[in-house]
Structure 1
Amino acid sequence: MRVPFVKMHGLGNDFIVLDARVQDVPPMTAALAAALADRHTGIGCDQLVLLEPSTSADFRMRIFNADGGEVEACGNATRAVGVLHGAAARIETLGGELQVSPADGGIAVDMGVPRFEWDQIPLAYPMDTHTMPVAWEELDQPTAVNVGNPHVIFFVPDTDALELDRLGPEIEHDPLFPQRVNVNAATVVSRTHIRLRVWERGVGLTRACGTGACATAIGAMRRGLVERSVTVSLPGGDLRIDWTDEGRIRMTGPAVESFRGTFDPATYGTDG
């Protein structure tokens, strides 16, 4: 049995999309997801996305990072799936229901309401998440936001000068974060513009992270550093993030299909 896949990306954050609604897909395990994600011996991706039927939404989306771990949400992947679907839809995820719709500039995603309580991030013990009294070398006093998955955000003078490839994994695996954490380093350029780099949990440095852009924008808005509508510039391109009057996060940006293909599950340690 050969399994069809679609390769997509959102601002360079790339995905393998498998649609179990219309084709047979082998049971997804951490080992299989990691094998497919391997850029040398697999198809290669930051995340593998599995689409399944849903009883509560139009369909269900499951997301596996490159290390094989299943995660709650991925903003760029949601936009990619929105492009593939081609119409407005409600999507069930581990992080809650998301809504996508076509928009100028690509796909708009209603990411829901941000969460700020320490046990909603989650943290290992109670702490003010607005300005956290913690530091890792020059990175100190971050803010934390859960936007379907956990993020910690540091505001720095120049995000490009930071050794995020060294500090990112240390922070990701710190015991303060029992479910690990996505690490964002942001520079506020103006009241309507943020530059951002992200160390993504289970992936590493990434060209773009949609939930990271959302969490960073909300963190900056919460501190009064920017307006409630901002452009977030990542290495792969720009996203527009709005915090609506209803308290919901709206992310707008592009996603494109790269190519299609098939793979043999037996090559990756399963016979399907």
Structure 2
Amino acid sequence: MKLSFTKMQGCANDYIYLDCRESGVPENIAALSQDLSRRHFSIGADGIICICAPVTAGADGRMRIFNADGSEAQMCGNGVRCVAEWLYTHGTAKETLVVDTGSGPKTITRKGRQLWQVEMGGYSAMAAALPAVNMGEGPLVDCPLTVEGRTWRVACISVGNPHCVTVVDDVDSLKLEDIGPAFEKHPNFPERINTEFVQVVDSTHLKMRVWERGSGETWACGTGTCATVAALTELGVCPAGEDVHVQLRGGELIIRVLPGKKLLMTGSAVTVCEGVTEV
């Protein structure tokens, strides 16, 4: 069977996008995501994002995201910008779009060519929102977490999906392939966790690397970048109400914490190619 796809990336967080608005999500989507995401052997990606018909009145589309291991995630900040760009270039040429996600509808506004700003909604540091266990009810800010014998100071933030943020002196020297899986599968996080390792350059400039549950290290993570700025705002490092520039392996995202602990994210959304593959 032939399958049409679009390959897109936001800060090098790359996914295979499928138009499922009429056909629905393929029954074998988990296996497809595992197979097509394999780098060097297939299209290669961090996973598959299905663009579906909206479920909320007035929305323009719906996003479902499947990681490279086949598991489904609630939300992807870089992915939702790409969904907006895809809709914009495939017949929904509106300057502001609403996309349904697993963590609720997101409003995305076009700020320029291949540039979109997402209203990400609020964040929470409470244990029940992640969920997290054995760490108290929260807020889980500046908490100890022992991972394979080493104790880290972490902030746990939900932005519709769960994140664990820790500050390090030199993010480039970390061997994420060694420590990432232990964070992801830590027993305190029953639904697994995305983990961000962040180096503070100054109060409005950060460097970050991320280990995503189900995908491993990716070159960017929109929700993770939001969680990182939220965590450092809670810690008093970053100022609320100002743009914070976060340098990722794949590019830069700009995050602002708004009143009510709401988050605004601005970043690129780029089409790499369109094609057909045998499945």
Note the alpha carbon deviations across 1:206-232, whole angstroms, 9 max, x for none: 111111110000000111001122001
Q: Does 1:99 pair with 2:107? A: yes
Partner of 2:83: 81
Partner of 1:251: 265
8 Å Cα contact 1:118/1:125 also seen in 2: no
Question: Which amino acid counterpart does residue 79 of structure 2 have in structure 1?
Answer: A
Structure 2 distance, partners of 1:135, 1:196, is 21
Structure 2 distance, partners of 1:111, 1:98, is 6
Partner of 2:141: 130
8 Å Cα contact 2:135/2:188 also seen in 1: no
Question: Which amino acid counterpart does residue 5 of structure 2 have in structure 1?
Answer: F
Partner of 2:123: 114
Task: State the SS of the aligned residue for 2:129.
Answer: coil
Q: Does 1:241 pair with 2:244? A: no
Q: Does 1:152 pair with 2:170? A: no
Q: How far apart are residue 139 of structure 1 and its match?
A: 5.4
Structure 1 distance, partners of 2:196, 2:52, is 30
Question: Which amino acid counterpart does residue 132 of structure 1 have in structure 2?
Answer: C
Partner of 2:64: 62
Structure 1 distance, partners of 2:255, 2:28, is 32
Partner of 2:91: none
Partner of 2:153: 141
The two structures have a TM-score, normalised by structure 2, of 0.90
Structure 1 distance, partners of 2:193, 2:42, is 26
Task: State the SS of the aligned residue for 1:27.
Answer: coil
Note the alpha carbon deviations across 1:100-132, whole angstroms, 9 max, x for none: 110157110111100211011111234231122
Question: Which amino acid counterpart does residue 97 of structure 1 have in structure 2?
Answer: P
Deviating above 4 A after TM superposition, structure 1's stretches of 4 or more consecutive aligned residues are 22-25
- Structure 1 stretches lacking a partner, 5+ long: 266-272
Q: Does 1:262 pair with 2:276? A: yes
The two structures have a TM-score, normalised by structure 1, of 0.92
Partner of 2:236: 224
Structure 2 distance, partners of 1:102, 1:201, is 29
Task: State the SS of the aligned residue for 1:96.
Answer: coil
Partner of 2:42: 42
Structure 1 distance, partners of 2:4, 2:209, is 32
C-alpha RMSD of matched pairs (Å): 1.7
- Identity of matched residues, %: 37
Q: Does 1:18 pair with 2:27? A: no
Question: Which amino acid counterpart does residue 7 of structure 1 have in structure 2?
Answer: K
Structure 2 distance, partners of 1:74, 1:161, is 26
Structure 1 distance, partners of 2:222, 2:85, is 15
Partner of 1:270: none
Structure 2 distance, partners of 1:115, 1:75, is 17
Structure 1 distance, partners of 2:123, 2:26, is 34
Q: How far apart are residue 23 of structure 1 and its match?
A: 5.2
Question: Which amino acid counterpart does residue 27 of structure 1 have in structure 2?
Answer: E
